[in-house]
Amino acid sequence: MRPRPALAVIVAALVLVGCGSSSEEAPQPTATAPATTTPRDDDVLSRLPEVPAADESVRPPASSGDTDAFLNTVFDDVQAMWRQEFQAVGAQYQPATMTIFRDEVHTACGTQPAYVGPFYCPADHGVYLDDRFFDALARRAGVQLGDFAQAFVVAHEVAHHVQVLLGITQRVRAQDQQDPAGENARSVRLELQADCLAGIWKHSSYQRGDLRQSDFADALRAAAVVGSDFQQRLAGATITPDDWTHGSSEQRQQWLTTGFEEGRPDACDTFGA
């Protein structure tokens, strides 16, 4: 893929924030099958308990100016929480990996250029972040985004990994093949569920005392900026809900808040809502 002008790249990247396998810029092959010990029934989220405070051993540091260190510690913390959740129901959590890149990056889902935006590749269970993206996004959107806006994005991408492990993503893709006309609507529900699951981690951090209300407000700002309606408005396009793949700003904030307030994975049933 040839590099595009900076403005177009940033607008395209807005579309990709929080993207899992639905990204057109980062096409994904069929995800590998989850471990047989992972729950696969239709209400898998209901089997996971309310989250406890996250693991003390990997708690996120206060802002130190070292973005990469912060993002890596958040990533470890989010995974520690999900590992606890899976263990609580006798399931095996298969860890994801995270790669922070600044130019192009080679993945099992193909080579992606700089500023592609954060994405998850199910073929290699990898979360990929260009950390310069956050500054570009803030400048373009005209809002200030702090550390916990970035933490929200990390937690959202790990949530896509959890959706793959639970078989949710695979069932959605199968439905997409049977009913292509409903693909966008299902994509919105999948992305909103990832927002809610990211809120679950925020809940555990708040319970532990590492997250203040102002930090959560920062995450809400990020959720608003990556809303499909916000993106269309920013690009000067007509607001067309039928074209959304990630949900509106209001929807993304609503589901992030639901996860944060409830702390229960079964509260994140966006498909039954």
109 Cβ contact list (under 8 Å, min separation 6)? 26, 27, 28, 29, 119, 121, 122, 123, 124
Least reliable range by pLDDT among 45-54, 154-163, 195-204, 247-256:
45-54
More confident: 163 or 61: 163
More confident: 26 or 115: 115
CA neighbours within 13 Å on the CB side: how many for 102? 4
Q: What is d(CA 68, CA 251) in angstroms, rounded to the nearest whole number?
A: 29
pLDDT at position 157, please? Answer: 96
Is residue 27 over pLDDT 50?
A: no
Q: Where are the domains of the chain?
A: 6-31+44-268
CA neighbours within 13 Å on the CB side: how many for 173? 17
Contact 187, 213 (CB under 8 A): no
Is residue 121 over pLDDT 80?
A: yes
Least reliable range by pLDDT among 134-143, 213-222, 259-268:
134-143
Is residue 25 over pLDDT 80?
A: no
pLDDT at position 126, please? Answer: 96
Is residue 30 over pLDDT 80?
A: no
Residues 261-271, mean pLDDT to the nearest whole number: 92
Q: What is d(CA 216, CA 175) in angstroms, rounded to the nearest whole number?
A: 34
Q: Kindly state the DSSP code that residue 44 receives in the 8-state scheme.
A: G
Q: Residue 73: count other Cβ atoms within 10 Å of its Cβ.
A: 17
pLDDT at position 38, please? Answer: 33
pLDDT at position 230, please? Answer: 67
Q: Kindly state the DSSP code that residue 4 receives in the 8-state scheme.
A: -
Mean pLDDT of the chain: 77
Residues 34-56, mean pLDDT to the nearest whole number: 58
Contact 132, 52 (CB under 8 A): no
Grade residue 41 by pLDDT with cuts at 50, 70 and 90: very low
* pTM across the whole model: 0.80
Is residue 241 over pLDDT 50?
A: yes
pLDDT at position 26, please? Answer: 37
Instruction: Note the pLDDT tens digit of each residue in 174-211.
Output: 999 999 999 988 999 999 999 999 999 988 887 776 77
Specify the DSSP element, H or E, that contains 71.
helix 67-88
pLDDT at position 19, please? Answer: 53
pLDDT at position 213, please? Answer: 75
